[in-house]
Amino acid sequence: MVFYTGKIVLALNNPTILVITDRNDLDDQLFDTFAASSQLLRQEPKQVEDRQQLKELLKVASGGVIFTTIQKFQPEEGNVYETLSERRNIVVIADEAHRTQYGFKAKTVEDKNEAGEVVGQKIVYGFAKYMRDALPNATYLGFTGTPIESTDVNTPAVFGNYVDIYDIAQAVEDGATVRIYYESRLAKVQLSDEGRKLVAELDEELDQDELTETQKAKTRWTQIEALIGSEKRIQNIAQDCCLVDVAARHT
């Protein structure tokens, strides 16, 4: 992000770079990194403290490297954020772009008073809509290690096509990370006498081909789930052991 900003500052006509995060600690971390690179940026970055300062910094005619959290783009009232600048030489860099960068469509939520009581319903949008209300002609660039492509939450739909993809295979080839190996392991589970009895009965019933025996096996399996733990843990055990009877013989 620092090197990209350094290039953009030279390529564009005194642009404004707005770095967006959704956590204060991440905002501090990135700001410190940019502040240590002010010579490359040819200016001192500024970290926004409140919503009013954000508006003041973005209403300037040109220039600036600004840091803020996306939550500061929440309208004080209504569903439209005021336009702060219509300039085209504004570049918004969003870190962790898979998390809070959505919400172009309206949705209905409960409206609560100061006491937390529901007093009705209201229509709200996400931060993606409010940011583009404020900076309609800006360029938006998202950085994420886990992009999402689902119906209502879609990273490419918000930021456009992928500019570059750096995956694990490339990282291993470049020597940036060590090669990753996956090894299946047997999950060790301590069963009570009742549990061992159920596993033994299930083992016998799984050898039967008749439908009625299969139904009995399902019932036994439900009982085993209750004894050992959550369904997810049971699935992990089944995957590691491949067959239930293997788990029974190794327990």
Q: What is the CATH number of the domain that holds 162?
A: 3.40.50
Q: What is the mean pLDDT of the chain?
A: 83
Total domains in the fold of the chain: 2
Query: 3-class DSSP state for residue 37?
Result: coil
State how far the Cα of 30 lies from the Cα of 94, in Å rounded to an integer. Answer: 11
State how far the Cα of 213 lies from the Cα of 11, in Å rounded to an integer. Answer: 73
Is 223 part of any domain? yes
239-242, long-range: CB < 8 A, 24+ apart: 239/184, 240/184, 240/185, 240/186, 240/187, 241/186, 241/187
Is 104 part of any domain? yes
Name the more confident of 90 and 248.
Answer: 90
Is 184 part of any domain? no
pLDDT band of residue 215 (cuts 50, 70, 90) is low
Q: Is the pLDDT of residue 88 over 90?
A: yes
Question: Which domain range does residue 235 map to?
Answer: 193-250
Residues 20 and 86 in one domain: yes
State how far the Cα of 150 lies from the Cα of 153, in Å rounded to an integer. Answer: 5
The per-residue pLDDT for 230 is 45
The per-residue pLDDT for 191 is 76
The per-residue pLDDT for 243 is 38
Is 236 part of any domain? yes
Pair of tokens at residue 68: 């803020």
The per-residue pLDDT for 117 is 84
Residues 98 and 157 in one domain: yes
Q: What angle do CA 137, 139, 144 make, to 5 degrees?
A: 145
> What average pLDDT does the segment 84-113 reach?
89
Pair of tokens at residue 37: 């690179």
Residue for token digits 């491949």? 242
Name the more confident of 205 and 46.
Answer: 46
Phi, psi torsion values for 157, nearest 5 degrees: -65, -25
Is 187 part of any domain? no
The per-residue pLDDT for 210 is 52
pTM: 0.68
The per-residue pLDDT for 202 is 73
State how far the Cα of 220 lies from the Cα of 199, in Å rounded to an integer. Answer: 8
Q: Is the pLDDT of residue 236 over 70?
A: no
The per-residue pLDDT for 118 is 84
Name the more confident of 155 and 66.
Answer: 66
pLDDT band of residue 134 (cuts 50, 70, 90) is very high
Residues 166 and 197 in one domain: no
Is 88 part of any domain? yes
Residues 104 and 199 in one domain: no
On the CB side of 130, how many CA atoms lie within 13 Å of its CA?
19
Residue for token digits 């954000």? 54
The per-residue pLDDT for 195 is 78
State how far the Cα of 79 lies from the Cα of 230, in Å rounded to an integer. Answer: 42
Is 183 part of any domain? no
